[in-house]
Amino acid sequence: MFNDEPNDNETFLYKLERESEVQKLIAHLKRSRKNYVRRRAATMLGNIAEISDPNERRQAVKALVSAIKTDEDDSVRAAAIDAL
């Protein structure tokens, strides 16, 4: 699994969202050990209204679909569905 940020809250995710760090949000969605981090990453990927790079947009959609199909946590799957 992914090595989350050292602080035990999700504030670092807001910085990633603000700065449109799509690849880092995808990494947290795919590999975080913490359900709440994966859930927030999915939500934030859905909140980034315009991902300007078409390749990043495809990667975000692919990561969200993968989370829907494979994540063990219901709330993460629900957040990924809502994000799409």
The residue that leads in pLDDT, 8 or 34, is: 34
| 28 within some domain | yes
Q: How many separate domains does the chain show?
A: 1
- Tell me how far apart the alpha carbons of residues 25 and 22 are, in angstroms, rounded to a whole number: 5
Output 13-18 pairs: Cβ under 8 A, ≥24 positions apart: 13/37, 13/40, 13/41, 13/44, 14/44, 16/44, 17/44, 17/47, 17/48
| 3 within some domain | no
| 32 within some domain | yes
Domain that holds residue 73: 11-83
- Tell me how far apart the alpha carbons of residues 70 and 54 are, in angstroms, rounded to a whole number: 24
| 5 within some domain | no
Residue-level pLDDT at 14: 86
Give the mean model confidence (pLDDT) for residues 50-66.
91
- pLDDT-above-70 percentage for the chain: 87
- Tell me how far apart the alpha carbons of residues 16 and 57 are, in angstroms, rounded to a whole number: 16
| 74 within some domain | yes
